Chain A
Amino acid sequence: DQQVKQNSPSLSVQEGRISILNCDYTNSMFDYFLWYKKYPAEGPTFLISISSIKDKNEDGRFTVFLNKSAKHLSLHIVPSQPGDSAVYFCAARGSGSARQLTFGSGTQLTVLP
């Protein structure tokens, strides 16, 4: 039972363009959402997060949007840079039985120079 889904295993974009990574969740108890970035042979590193009381959070080139009614969040990277090439994981947590951090399966982003 995948509670957090990233349906696109891979995404390629040109340098300078926008990258949009998508994530869907099913557990309505989730109320805090995170994106992690992972380079090969390294552990995931925290990128940006959003609480369910917001619908947008911005940090430099990275913006996360949350649509609670659709149980959908997305990560926008503008402009995309070759150094952004990595695997991006969406994760979610809530309270009670949902307090664990639950990860999606990841999307491999490749930014082409």
Chain B
Amino acid sequence: EAGVAQSPRYKIIEKRQSVAFWCNPISGHATLYWYQQILGQGPKLLIQFQNNGVVDDSQLPKDRFSAERLKGVDSTLKIQPAKLEDSAVYLCASSLGNSGYTDTQYFGPGTRLTVL
């Protein structure tokens, strides 16, 4: 079974530029998550989709971050304009989407963003 795919794996941009990340979840997984992991910290949820609807985006900085999941499969996360403090690894995860607590999240390899 193929895992969660993410691209690009690395990205270096200047502040105030824009950047986009792509995620392809595990086939059949209804729920998709985007996390931000700053160096030395654990992953922090940015946004959660159930199919193509947003379930939770309470921690997404909406003035500069946006995300979409068209057709309930692939997803893109965009930052515009980027700030120095956005330097982090952006992780995508997916899960089956059942309502139980055993709904295990499977993570992709992440995209490491460096903002100069």
Where chain B touches its partner, the secondary structure class is loop
A29 to B56: give the CA distance in the assembly, Å.
18
| Cβ–Cβ contact A45 & B107, under 8 A | yes
| Cβ–Cβ contact B4 & A4, under 8 A | no
| Cβ–Cβ contact A105 & B42, under 8 A | yes
Of B11-19, B66-74, B80-88, B97-105, the segment with at least 4 beta carbons within 8 Å of chain A is B97-105
With a CB–CB cut-off of 8 A, which chain B residues contact A89? Answer: 42-43
| Cβ–Cβ contact A43 & B40, under 8 A | no
**Known contacts A4-B42, A103-B43, A105-B42, A46 near B109 by CB under 8 Å:** no
**A101 interface contact, C-beta 8 A:** yes
**Known contacts A31-B101, A46-B104, A93-B101, A41 near B42 by CB under 8 Å:** no
Interface residues of A (CB under 8 A from B): 4, 9, 31-32, 36, 41-46, 49, 51, 89, 91, 93, 99-106
